[in-house]
Amino acid sequence: MAARVLVVDDSPTMRGLITAVLQSDPEVDVIGQAGDAMEAREAIKKLNPDVVTLDIEMPNMNGLEFLEKIMRLRPMPVIMVSTLTHRGTNATLAALEIGAFDCVSKPQPGDVRPFADLAEKVKAAARSQRRPVMAPQPVAPPPAVADYRVGRKVVAIGSSTGGVEALIAVLQKFPANCPPTVITQHMPSTFTKSFAERLNRLCAPVVQEATDGARLEIGKIYLAPGGERHLQVVNASAPCCRLLEREPVNGHRPSVDVLFDSVAELAGRNAVGVILTGMGRDGAAGLLKMRHAGARTLGQNEKTSVVYGMPRVAFELGAVEQQLPLNAIGEEILKMTARKEGTD
């Protein structure tokens, strides 16, 4: 059955473009359009769509305010459509925290294939089960990890669709002296810097966008910049980030597989690999390589994944040592990385 979509945007031109792109996929059916939140509310009541595409900036009530009402009153998969401005980026990140399924960027001049991945995201959204999500608040490290003593392990995390919520949930469990942690999250290039800044405000450790040559340090988390390069970890004697110019892997740049492969080679058994919610299979093969190298490995379970794609493939490959609900993953990482009594 085709995914039934309501397109919400105040621009008739943009509504027409989104509709044309989606209607070109035989597995997607645009059942209605709306120009503002009031029209969208009535259309949702009347048409009961599987998925809504929602413009961030609209008159009367902006997309963020309307999304909050949807998630509170009638949770359903919503894909945010955003401009690539700083304001649009911050609003989109807030939307993902509230519970939006995913985001896409409005086309820029010269784009050959506008909204190229929108239909695939809509179909994945239609298959998902959304839950109302409350935006996280800054928290202190839980008392249970107040006496955490970091060992010598490196943590590598991969995530995609649903990863904004998932990463916040995991990283808010980390104390200020967390193990060095590297993350690849599939996200447009304009979003990762703002997302790192947001994580830095919400979490006890220092969170920053990874830069080429940045030394891995205790208490720091490094987020792969989106778009142009892959993130690797290199140099066994003094581990650091390397940003690699290379073609996309598994359709992604940065790729989780590229990160996990490098951590397997660099750290072996002194690493923990974690694969979270996401579409596709990126990271599964790399996590298997990490496990074969002696690393501990974790995967998010199906019930708590927005999209049980990447974790499912990794689990079926035998790459996942333990499959856990999202709220247990942060604590398990700390158990796996804590310094044991009697060791250096």
Q: Within this chain, do residues 171 and 279 fall inside the same structural domain, yes or no? A: yes
Question: Do residues 120 and 182 both lie within one domain?
Answer: no
Q: List all residues 6 or more positions away from 56 whose beta carbon is below 8 Å from its beta carbon.
A: 62, 63, 64, 80, 81, 82, 83, 88, 91, 92, 95
Residues 83 and 221 placed together within one structural domain of the fold: no
The CATH number for 116's domain is 3.40.50.2300
For residue 135, what pLDDT is reported?
A: 47
Residue 306 domain-assigned (yes or no): yes
Q: Are 275 and 310 in contact (CB under 8 A)?
A: yes
pTM tops 0.85, yes or no: yes
Residues 30, 109: one domain? Answer: yes
Please tell me whether residues 288 and 187 are part of one structural domain.
yes
Amino acid at 195: F
Residue 263 lies in a domain: yes
Task: Give me the pLDDT at residue 128, please.
Answer: 85
The pLDDT, as a whole number, for residue 110 is 81
Q: Which residue is it, tokens 């708590």?
A: 304
Report pLDDT for 130. 55
Q: Is residue 146 assigned to a domain?
A: no
- We report the CATH number of the domain holding residue 251 as 3.40.50.180
pLDDT at 339: 84
Q: Is residue 139 part of a domain?
A: no
Cβ-contact 33, 19 below 8 angstroms:
yes
What is the mean pLDDT for each group of 10 consecutive residues in the chain (344 residues)? 95 96 97 95 96 90 91 92 76 89 87 89 86 49 64 94 94 95 92 93 96 97 94 95 96 97 97 96 98 98 94 98 97 92 53
For residue 74, being part of any structural domain is answered with yes
Does residue 149 fall inside a structural domain? no
- The residue segments making up the domain with residue 14 are 3-129
Last residue of a domain, one of 90, 114, 129: 129
Mark whether 10 and 111 lie in a shared domain: yes
**Distance separating alpha carbons of residues 16 and 22, to the nearest angstrom:** 10
| Domain end call among 74, 94, 129 | 129
189 and 89 co-located in one domain: no
**Do 58 and 166 fall within a single domain?**
no
Number of domains in the chain: 2
Other beta carbons within 10 Å of 141: 19
Same domain? 225 vs 316: yes
Same domain, 175 and 282: yes
Task: Establish if 50 belongs to a structural domain.
Answer: yes
In a domain, 77, yes or no: yes
Do 103 and 229 fall within a single domain?
Answer: no
Residues acting as catalytic residues = 160, 186, 282
Last-in-domain residue among 112, 129, 146? 129
Same-domain status, 171 and 113 = no
